[in-house]
């Protein structure tokens, strides 16, 4: 539902300053006895909490969320019939600064949209013979109360003594309050613009400790987005301070490095009238730990809860593995998505940023659609993207856009305008998604096409490149080893093809021809510039090979050779990660699709830094911004960009769903899909479940006594192609809806390739940190004074047992036995 573009809000008479109290609005009204229904529609420039007769309306928090306020402001309509009664009634609202008024970005710029919090509401009273409407106007009065200040980055200060008793009830004396001031706002009011942000669960503390400096630290065991709810009894006027952080220092103190300038501090002043329960409502934090100061008496576990807050989304995907580290990695991906879907898909929830970066969302899109139903959140976000793109002529790097610098067309970031609608269409099969986004999709390609050189190469202008490549300088995250214009041109081929496919679906034949030809032109330019006839890529990097492999930029022979070279590059880095935003979502897919699944597994299961599992071994409960955001000694890698809750690099979960779990969609809306798990990495069981638009699809496999058991569920209306892994007959079978199962013996000796022996090359032993530590201890005992580590780097292909040949014959068997014992006890 949309209203006229010009709307009258109400506000206090003066602009707000940093640290100002939140305005309280109220008005009384009468209700006749024959009332049939009462509905309240409410929104704000800021964060609104509405009341009727003293009762909080609805369970939504941080309303109305964050949209492009100059164009679209979301409203919410509530049935409040049960909250009103015949006679005198009152309506009220508190409005915090929120995104519209308060500080945003690392420059802490205020008044990005409005210079003061403002309220708009409509209360409709319906009777059998008429309807009466009460709207926000000068008949409302405005004052202040207990919310002394609030900021998304700073936190909330609440003095319970200052809360006016009965302020939202009839009969309250508001003679000292001022008449509300009209504020005209030129934007559409849109009912249910995005799903509400709500409380989802409350976590119990796992530990309460005292730091070396004497401070009380509460550990909730999980990095999350939300706030702390406290229940306390104490004397009037006592100040309780809660500081939030993602990490503790190795010494056990609160680590605030990852917050940058965000204070992330809430303050509560006790009323002093028995037990008091309070939680902030006009801010949120990204945290695991809270430092509590000023608590009266002894702080107990039951006194605090961490309230988990994010947009309302239905869970759609699940994954489990026999490897607990991989299962935890997947949980970390899930928690990072939850923590960053607070109104808009943000990069991080803790520091002075929390912006809707387009590159992060684009990289993570396939994983997001598997885990949750994101049509509501991302559908709203894409509307804001299209509006701001139309206004500025380019896709902003953040949506909504409040960056202190202007944006320009950039691969992976700007092309989310094309790739995200295409991904949503593939997941849900709804043509309307493409219809709504098509003008924006075309506008992006129309913007980029004139930037190409005469050959069709996108070879100029700013690019993020393979952002946050671990080899990039800390001061230049865009300075990775992969040519940024290779990245730009490769992604342009991908997105132009997606647009051509969208044109085909929508029946736009001329556009389909045009964009197909453009994609071919850019592909030819890419091959001429970056690819040799033998499939070598000019940028000798994992990302440099993964992109052309996955974007079909090579012929069959070149692709085979490129896959082999990619596997060599990954092995040369000892299976540590060497990709950033552009390459990480694709590198494991590129390896497995060219026949190097075991290399993909080794890359995924490496625990040395930088790697997917290094953060897990360091106790991470979310995905980090940098692979080494926390160093092995537990200290933050202080680069200024060390968020511990950044979902983008969790895009590898898409490979886990498809290649370990085995579920892969092959047509829009999951009408067809494949079940083809790929075994490796020492996995003995895994499952992937996904609630598709047609119902539950599931792949579950396990190895039992040398046999593989594969169980599959296909929802009604769908069919699946089943390729049971390592089936003795190479089975490929089409199945219809229902439950299906296969059991068969695996090849003799299956799994032995992951077992180390004296015949294993030394380089394979070195990859297993536990085994290598034991072997090193043995070798140092038998070869005292020899620099074993240095020698090992030159003997990588030599079987471990061959080292015994360097011993006198009478000692060889003793060395072999000691080495075997080290392997057996790993």
**Mean pLDDT along residues 382-389:** 98
The answer on pLDDT for 796 being more than 90 is no
743's enclosing H/E stretch is strand 738-745
The residue assigned the tokens 């807050």 is 309
Task: For 271-383, list the strands marked E by DSSP.
Answer: 276-278, 285-293, 304-311, 317-321, 341-342, 344-345
**What span, in angstroms and rounded, lies between the C-alpha atoms of 457 and 411?**
13
Q: Please report the domains of the chain, with CATH numbers, ordered by start residue.
A: 6-193 (2.60.120.260), 198-311 (2.60.120.260), 317-661 (1.50.10.10), 665-745 (2.60.420.10), 757-824 (no CATH)
DSSP 350: S
Per-residue pLDDT reduced to its tens digit, 51-83: 999 999 999 999 999 999 999 999 999 999 999
The whole-model pTM stands at: 0.91
**Mean pLDDT along residues 233-246:** 98
Query: Which residues, other chains included, contact 92 with Cβ-Cβ below 8 Å and sequence gap of 6+?
Result: 24, 25, 26, 27, 50, 51, 52, 167, 168
**What span, in angstroms and rounded, lies between the C-alpha atoms of 231 and 215?**
19
What is the band of 2 on the pLDDT scale with cuts at 50, 70, 90? very low
Per-residue pLDDT reduced to its tens digit, 521-567: 999 999 999 999 888 999 999 999 999 999 999 999 999 999 999 99
Active site residue 353: yes
Both tokens of 137, joined, read: 């106007």
**Mean pLDDT along residues 230-247:** 98
DSSP reduced 3-state for 782: helix
Per-residue pLDDT reduced to its tens digit, 734-775: 999 999 999 999 997 676 555 677 777 777 787 777 788 788
DSSP 476: -
**Residue 1's pLDDT is what?**
38
Phi, psi of 670 (to 5 degrees): 65, 30
**Mean pLDDT along residues 3-30:** 92
Both tokens of 819, joined, read: 């080495």
Looking at 353, 498, 512, 698, which residue is catalytic? Answer: 353
Q: β-strands 131-135, 707-714: how paired?
A: unpaired
Per-residue pLDDT reduced to its tens digit, 179-189: 999 999 999 99
**What span, in angstroms and rounded, lies between the C-alpha atoms of 384 and 399?**
7
Task: For residue 630, list its beta bridge partners.
Answer: 636
Q: Distances from the Cα of 510 to the Cαs of 74, 504, 524, in angstroms?
A: 37, 9, 21
The answer on pLDDT for 785 being more than 90 is no
Q: Is 810 exposed, middle or buried (0-12, 13-18, 19+ CB in 10 A)?
A: exposed
**Residue 778's pLDDT is what?**
83
**What span, in angstroms and rounded, lies between the C-alpha atoms of 670 and 721?**
12
Longest dimension (CA), the chain: 108
**Mean pLDDT along residues 118-124:** 98
Per-residue pLDDT reduced to its tens digit, 479-522: 999 999 999 999 999 999 999 999 999 999 999 999 999 999 99
Per-residue pLDDT reduced to its tens digit, 133-145: 999 999 999 999 9
Question: Following DSSP, what letter does each residue of 572-626 receive, concatenated?
Answer: HTTT-----TTTHHHHHHHHHHTT-HHHHHHHHH--SSSSSSHHHHTT-SS--SS
**Residue 766's pLDDT is what?**
78
**Residue 788's pLDDT is what?**
65
CA dihedral 490, 496, 501, 507 (to 10 degrees): -170
Q: Say if CB 468 and CB 449 are below 8 A apart.
A: no
Q: Say if CB 164 and CB 43 are below 8 A apart.
A: no
Task: For residue 307, list its beta bridge partners.
Answer: 202, 227
27's enclosing H/E stretch is strand 23-31
Q: Say if CB 217 and CB 254 are below 8 A apart.
A: yes
- The size of the chain, in residues, is 826
Which residue from 541, 543, 504 is spatially nearest to 411, judged by alpha carbons?
543
Q: What is the C-alpha end-to-end distance of the chain, expressed in Å?
A: 64
**Residue 790's pLDDT is what?**
55
Q: Say if CB 541 and CB 578 are below 8 A apart.
A: yes
**Residue 826's pLDDT is what?**
54
The answer on pLDDT for 3 being more than 60 is no
**Residue 743's pLDDT is what?**
98
The answer on pLDDT for 454 being more than 80 is yes
**What span, in angstroms and rounded, lies between the C-alpha atoms of 536 and 800?**
33
**Residue 400's pLDDT is what?**
98
**What span, in angstroms and rounded, lies between the C-alpha atoms of 247 and 230?**
21
Q: Distances from the Cα of 313 to the Cαs of 172, 398, 657, 664, in angstroms?
A: 39, 22, 20, 22
What is the band of 789 on the pLDDT scale with cuts at 50, 70, 90? low
**What span, in angstroms and rounded, lies between the C-alpha atoms of 204 and 233?**
19
**Mean pLDDT along residues 364-373:** 98
**What span, in angstroms and rounded, lies between the C-alpha atoms of 127 and 141?**
27
Looking at 28, 246, 255, 625, which residue is catalytic? Answer: 625
Per-residue pLDDT reduced to its tens digit, 610-629: 999 999 999 999 999 999 99
Both tokens of 244, joined, read: 């939030």
Tell me the percentage of the chain whose pLDDT exceeds 90: 89
Per-residue pLDDT reduced to its tens digit, 399-445: 999 999 999 999 999 999 999 999 999 999 999 999 999 999 999 99
Count of C-beta atoms within a 10 Å radius of residue 719: 15
**What span, in angstroms and rounded, lies between the C-alpha atoms of 84 and 103?**
37
Q: How far is residue 110 CA from its own chain's centroid?
A: 26
**Mean pLDDT along residues 776-790:** 74
Both tokens of 332, joined, read: 């970390």
């Amino acid at each position: 539902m949309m209203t006229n573009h010009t709307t009258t809000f109400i506000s206090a008479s003066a602009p707000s300053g940093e640290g100002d109290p939140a305005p309280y609005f109220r008005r009384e009204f009468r209700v006749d006895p024959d009332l049939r229904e009462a509905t309240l529609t409410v929104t704000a420039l800021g964060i609104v909490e509405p009341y009727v007769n003293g009762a909080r309306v609805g369970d939504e928090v941080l309303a109305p969320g964050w949209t492009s306020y100059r164009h679209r402001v979301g409203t919410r309509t509530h049935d409040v019939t049960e909250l009103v009664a015949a006679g005198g009634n009152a309506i009220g609202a508190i409005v915090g600064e929120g995104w519209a008024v308060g500080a945003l970005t690392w420059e802490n710029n205020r008044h990005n949209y409005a210079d003061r919090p403002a309220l708009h509401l409509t209360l409709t009273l319906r009777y059998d013979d008429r309807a009466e409407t009460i709207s926000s106007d000068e008949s409302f009065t405005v004052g202040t109360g207990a919310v002394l200040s609030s900021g998304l980055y700073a936190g909330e200060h609440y003095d319970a003594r200052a809360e006016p008793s009965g302020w939202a009830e009839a009969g309250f004396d508001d003679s000292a309050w001022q008449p509300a001031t009209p504020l005209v706002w030129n934007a559409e009011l849109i009912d249910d613009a995005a799903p509400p942000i709500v409380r989802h669960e409350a976590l119990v503390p796992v530990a309460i400790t005292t730091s070396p400096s004497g401070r009380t630290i509460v550990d909730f065991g999980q990095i999350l987005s939300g706030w702390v709810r406290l229940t306390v009894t104490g004397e009037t006027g006592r100040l309780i301070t809660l500081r939030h952080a993602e990490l503790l220092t190795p010494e056990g103190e609160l680590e605030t490095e990852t917050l940058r300038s965000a204070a992330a501090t809430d303050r509560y002043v006790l009323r002093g009238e028995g037990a008091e329960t309070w939680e902030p409502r006009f801010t949120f934090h990204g945290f695991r730990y809270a430092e509590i100061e000023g608590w009266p008496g002894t702080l107990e576990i039951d006194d605090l809860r961490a309230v988990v807050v994010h947009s309302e989304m239905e869970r759609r995907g699940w994954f489990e593995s026999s490897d607990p580290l991989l299962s935890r990695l997947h949980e970390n991906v899930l928690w990072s998505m939850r923590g960053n879907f607070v109104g808009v898909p943000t990069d991080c929830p803790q520091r002075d940023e929390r912006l809707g970066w387009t590159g992060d969302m684009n990289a993570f899109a396939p994983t997001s659609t598997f885990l949750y139903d994101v049509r509501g959140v991302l559908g709203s976000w894409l509307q804001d993207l299209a509006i701001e793109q139309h206004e500025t002529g380019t896709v902003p790097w953040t949506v909504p856009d409040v960056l202190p610098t202007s944006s320009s067309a950039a691969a992976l970031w700007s092309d989310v305008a094309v790739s995200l609608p295409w991904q949503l269409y593939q997941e849900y099969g709804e043509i309307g998604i493409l219809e709504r986004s098509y003008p924006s999709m075309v506008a992006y390609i129309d913007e980029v096409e004139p930037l190409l050189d005469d050959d069709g190469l996108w070879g100029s202008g700013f690019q993020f490149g393979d952002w946050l490549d671990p080899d990039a300088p800390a001061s230049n995250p865009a300075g990775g080893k992969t040519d940024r214009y290779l990245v730009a041109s490769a992604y342009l081929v991908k997105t132009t093809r997606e647009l051509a496919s969208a044109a085909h679906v929508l029946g736009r034949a001329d556009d389909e021809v045009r964009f197909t030809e453009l994609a071919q032109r850019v592909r030819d330019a890419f091959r001429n510039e970056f690819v040799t006839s033998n499939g070598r890529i000019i940028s000798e990097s994992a990302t440099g090979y993964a992109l052309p492999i996955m974007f079909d930029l090579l012929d069959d022979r070149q692709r085979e050779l490129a896959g082999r070279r990619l596997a060599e590059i990954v092995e040369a880095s000892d299976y540590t990660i060497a990709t950033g935003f552009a390459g990480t979502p694709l590198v494991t897919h590129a390896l497995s699709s060219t026949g190097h699944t075991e290399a993909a597994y080794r890359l995924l299961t490496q625990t040395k830094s930088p790697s997917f599992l290094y953060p897990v071994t360091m106790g991470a409960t979310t995905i980090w911004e940098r692979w080494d955001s926390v160093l092995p000694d537990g200290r933050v890698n202080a680069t200024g960009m060390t968020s511990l809750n950044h979902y983008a690099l969790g895009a590898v979960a898409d490979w886990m769903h498809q290649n370990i779990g085995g579920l892969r969609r092959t047509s829009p809306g999951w009408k067809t899909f494949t079940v083809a798990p790929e075994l490796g990495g020492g996995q003995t069981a895994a499952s992937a479940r996904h609630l598709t638009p047609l119902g539950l699809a599931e792949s579950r496999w396990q190895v039992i006594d040398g046999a593989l058991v594969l169980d599959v569920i296909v929802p009604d209306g769908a069919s699946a192609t089943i390729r049971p892994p390592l089936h003795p007959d190479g089975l490929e079978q089409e199945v219809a809806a229902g439950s299906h199962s296969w059991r068969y013996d695996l090849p003799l000796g299956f799994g032995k390739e992951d077992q180390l022996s004296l015949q294993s090359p030394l380089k394979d032993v070195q990859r297993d940190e536990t085994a290598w530590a034991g072997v090193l201890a043995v070798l140092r005992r038998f070869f005292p004074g020899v620099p074993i580590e240095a020698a090992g780097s030159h003997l990588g292909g030599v079987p471990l047992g061959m080292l015994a040949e360097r011993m006198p014959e009478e000692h060889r068997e003793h060395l072999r036995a000691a080495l075997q014992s080290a392997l057996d006890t790993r």
